[in-house]
Structure 1
């Protein structure tokens, strides 16, 4: 049986489902009104697909804008594919939902930010009570201190 409920992982899955639903609506009906998206993603994610010159230029992360010109939007359960224009050079990108770091629609002051997978794994290790192996055999691991919940403000995404 599990030690507890992993609310962080459940929330990330729900937020990625929200992004999928929004993109499906855009695929089917286009971008309504003044809506547009800034999507920052990890270009080094193993499932991300982008032109070599883009991954060379943006080796860690990249922010793309879906607003005036985008084409061939395809949405799946794992991610989405879209063709965007980079200085009159159309390029097709595949962005897995797991690679998304931020998803912002400034027209309605809405934004989502995802912690990196490394940060989640580091936090999981901090919460692990398994003692580390040391040169003298098993060493006792200190219990992690309890922390208060952190409130995240979306003010930074407002106009």
Structure 2
């Protein structure tokens, strides 16, 4: 065991777990009320899957909206599959949780932002006395959304 608690990594995992739980509820029961999501993710993530034309159009990051029309929402341990409509063309996507930069539900003024992306195995132990790099995690205060 290393000589420190990696709060940044623990916070990222907890925030990703929250996203997974919310999407699981939506997959099981649909979007309740006015809830909808804006999810910005890294299109260069090695596990992200999207059509070549979308990757060409969004070479670094992309924001998707889960609101009125979506199909095939399948929530997994490491990410989720979803089919979204792009100009009357349904396109399947796979978005790993580690590729997500922001998750926002504007209907209730809730948002999460991941300041850094870490695609390595998050459970790896660090050898020696050198502490691992600290990913930054930010919990967005609801007060910043209040009018």
Question: Normalised by the shorter chain, which TM-score bucket?
Answer: 0.7 to 0.9
RCO (CA 8 Å, sep 6+): is it higher in 1 or 2? 2
Name 1:122's counterpart in structure 2: none
Distance in 1, matches of 2:8 and 2:27, equals 28
Matches within 5 A, 1:102-121: 102-117=102-117
Structure 1 or 2: larger helix share?
Answer: 1
Name 1:139's counterpart in structure 2: none
Name 1:14's counterpart in structure 2: 14
Q: Is the 8 A contact 2:111 2:140 kept in 1?
A: no
Q: Which runs of 4+ in 1 moved over 6 A?
A: none
C-alpha RMSD over aligned residues: 2.2
Name 2:38's counterpart in structure 1: 38
Name 1:61's counterpart in structure 2: 61
TM-score normalized by structure 2?
A: 0.82
Q: Secondary structure at the match of 2:28?
A: helix
Q: Is the 8 A contact 1:111 1:157 kept in 2?
A: no
Classify 1:151/1:43 alpha carbon distance in 2 versus 1 (closer, same or farther; 3 Å).
Answer: closer
Q: Secondary structure at the match of 2:33?
A: coil
Distance in 2, matches of 1:9 and 1:95, equals 19
TM-score normalized by structure 1?
A: 0.76
Q: Secondary structure at the match of 2:62?
A: strand
Unaligned runs of 5+ in 2: 119-128, 131-137
**What number of residue pairs does the alignment pair up?**
131
Classify 1:152/1:31 alpha carbon distance in 2 versus 1 (closer, same or farther; 3 Å).
Answer: closer
Q: Is the 8 A contact 1:106 1:157 kept in 2?
A: no
Q: Deviations over 1:122-149 (max 9, x none)?
A: xxxxxxx86xxxxxxxxxxxxxxxxxxx
> What's the offset of the Cα at 1:115?
1.6
Greater Rg, structure 1 or structure 2? 1
Unaligned runs of 5+ in 1: 119-128, 131-149
Distance in 2, matches of 1:151 and 1:51, equals 31
Matches within 5 A, 1:1-159: 1-117=1-117, 153-154=141-142
